[in-house]
Amino acid sequence: MQLGEIATAVTAQNDTTAWHDIEVSSVAFDSRQVTNGALFVPLEGERDGHEFIQSAKQNGAVAALWKADHGAVPSDFPVLVVDDPLTALQALSKHYLLKINPKVVAITGSNGKTTTKDMVAAVLSTQFNVTKTTDNFNNEIGVPVTILAMEPNTEVLVVELGMDRPGQLDFLSKLVSPDLAIITMIGEAHIEFFGTRDKIADAKMEITHGLKADGTFIFDGDEPLLTERAKAVTQRQVTFGRQATDDVYATNVVATDTHTQFSTNQWPDQTVTVPMIGDYNINNALAALSVAKLYRITPNVAVDAFKSLDLTKNRAEWIQGKAGERILSDVYNSNPTAVKEVMAAFSKVATEGKRRVVLGDMLELGAQSDALHAGLQTAFDSALVQDVYLVGPHMAALYDVLQADYQPDALHLYNVDQQGKLITDLQSVLTATDTLLIKGSHGIHLENVLAALQK
């Protein structure tokens, strides 16, 4: 876009006539990520982004936004003066979305939204030009940046919408105006901010607030919290799950440590192979297949798309360790439902050596945190998982109850700042025949442990 068009979209307060024809090819809010032709958006967080405008200019930015109450406006560089750079970023993304006008598939859920996003994008990419959310760009900043990263030929935008407070999905849904809105499931993630699963379900349903009148709501039909609330949604609805009452459900499930196979009632002659551990990924795949059916993608084409999934890293990913051990890396995020699901799958993985587990604290569980951590005890069988390494103050609650199931030398507890000792302890015992699971909330940074074991 030219800067003049951007100035109109963000309601710039200053005269931009002299710069009207400047071409802008990208948008960035991190000056280190700026490339030639970028518009720099100075956001205020731990640091004030206005401090980095000179750095952005040196890295190739051709213009920047500037907050109106932020002092003297630079005179040696094109800036658009706005009330609030974040609001302007969001307005610009809405303008660009309407200009490109792709179909929009929006996805949220307590678990599985990133994997579902990857699956939906893979299926749709067989017939359409698709842009999808990268990394964890799923909030008020990340969603606009995802939109503005679309190539002009984008036909479908697959966008992940995150949530940690009421009203957030209402805003994001109305920003992207989805044609399809998907809720993968309701769990305990972010229960610190909501208190109950009922209130989490209320907040997740906000994804339907911006759903187009002729859009479709796709959700887990086996979740009563969703089926009850879906009665108030007037748009078309499609359910997925494991029951014959769902519109799309799985049959003939076969799970291994590297993939999961199943068929569906819609396409009984097709075998779907998901290259991921855990039959909990079946529901994510069913959501993607529901999208495929709505977009009239033929069964064989949709099924083939799963064979070469481009999955976001650190989601139940097998990695080879330095000692030759197999490591199941799931270090991006964690909550009680996710831990129990991956533990159930991991406990069945064939191994000649020991199964060892590293679990970090599950964050944002509020007053219920210790009880929810202790509740993970049901996921452990000392005959199947021989060594347990727990990291964080809340995991102490799980440590306490697991003492009834494990000998002292098989149960270990570490503070968050004791990762060095954890790494040393693991390196001293791991062998090529062992299998190791590493899972925790991103804030615990178990990716550092993973990196050390790979060196």
Q: Mean of the pLDDT values across residues 298-318? A: 86
- Judge whether 90 lies within some domain: no
pTM greater than 0.85: yes
pLDDT grade for 71, boundaries at 50, 70 and 90 = confident
List the domain range (segments joined by +) for residue 155.
Answer: 102-308
Residues 229 and 335 in one domain: no
Domain total in the chain: 3
pLDDT grade for 193, boundaries at 50, 70 and 90 = confident
Residues 260 and 200 in one domain: yes
* Tens-digit pLDDT profile for residues 353-392: 999 999 999 998 888 899 999 999 999 999 999 999 999 9
Percent share of the chain, pLDDT over 70: 99
Residue 181 above 80 pLDDT? yes
Among residues 308, 334, 355, which one ends one of the domains?
308
- Judge whether 172 lies within some domain: yes
- Judge whether 199 lies within some domain: yes
- Judge whether 95 lies within some domain: no
Residues 296 and 396 in one domain: no
Binding-site residues for ATP, in ranges, read 109-115
pLDDT of residue 314: 61
Residues 75 and 150 in one domain: no
Between 335 and 390, the higher pLDDT residue = 390
Residue 316 above 70 pLDDT? yes
* Tens-digit pLDDT profile for residues 122-179: 999 999 999 999 988 999 999 999 999 999 999 999 999 999 889 999 999 999 999 9
Among residues 308, 335, 364, which one ends one of the domains?
308
Between 76 and 402, the higher pLDDT residue = 402
- Judge whether 130 lies within some domain: yes
Residues 299 and 210 in one domain: yes
Residues 369 and 425 in one domain: yes
Lowest mean pLDDT among 36-40, 274-278, 399-403, 426-430: 274-278
Residues 194 and 268 in one domain: yes
Residues 269 and 407 in one domain: no
Lowest mean pLDDT among 207-221, 242-256, 297-311: 297-311
pLDDT of residue 332: 81
Q: Mean of the pLDDT values across residues 55-80? A: 93
pLDDT of residue 45: 86
SS (H, E, C) the chain: CEHHHHHHHCCCCCCCHHHCCCECCEEECCHHHCCCCEEECCCECCCEHHHHHHHHHHCCCCEEEEECCCCCCCCCCCEEEECCHHHHHHHHHHHHHHHHCCEEEEEECCCCHHHHHHHHHHHHCCCCCEEECCCCCCCCCHHHHHHHCCCCCCCEEEEECCCCCCCHHHHHHHHHCCCEEEECCCCCCCHHHHCCHHHHHHHHHHHHCCCCCCCEEEEECCCHHHHHHHHHCCCEEEEEECCCCCCEEEEEEEECCCCEEEEECCCCCCCEEECCCCCCHHHHHHHHHHHHHHCCCCHHHHHHHHHHCCCCCCCCEEEECCCCCEEEEECCCCCHHHHHHHHHHHCCCCCCCCEEEEEECCCCCHHHHHHHHHHHHHHCCCCCCCEEEEECCCHHHHHHHHCCCCCHHHEEEECHHHHHHHHHHHHHHCCCCCEEEEECCHHHCCHHHHHHHHC
Residues 35 and 159 in one domain: no
pLDDT of residue 312: 75
Residues 173 and 266 in one domain: yes
* Tens-digit pLDDT profile for residues 14-60: 998 999 999 999 999 999 999 999 999 999 988 999 999 999 999 99
Residues 328 and 434 in one domain: yes
Residue 116 above 70 pLDDT? yes
pLDDT of residue 325: 96
Binding-site residues, in ranges, read 109-115
Q: What is the CATH number of the domain that holds 373?
A: 3.90.190.20
- Judge whether 97 lies within some domain: no
pLDDT grade for 455, boundaries at 50, 70 and 90 = low
Among residues 280, 308, 336, which one ends one of the domains?
308
- Judge whether 357 lies within some domain: yes
Q: What is the CATH number of the domain that holds 42?
A: 3.40.1390.10
Residues 300 and 385 in one domain: no
Q: What is the CATH number of the domain that holds 147?
A: 3.40.1190.10
- Judge whether 206 lies within some domain: yes
* Tens-digit pLDDT profile for residues 431-447: 999 999 999 998 999 99
pLDDT of residue 271: 95
Q: Mean of the pLDDT values across residues 209-221? A: 98
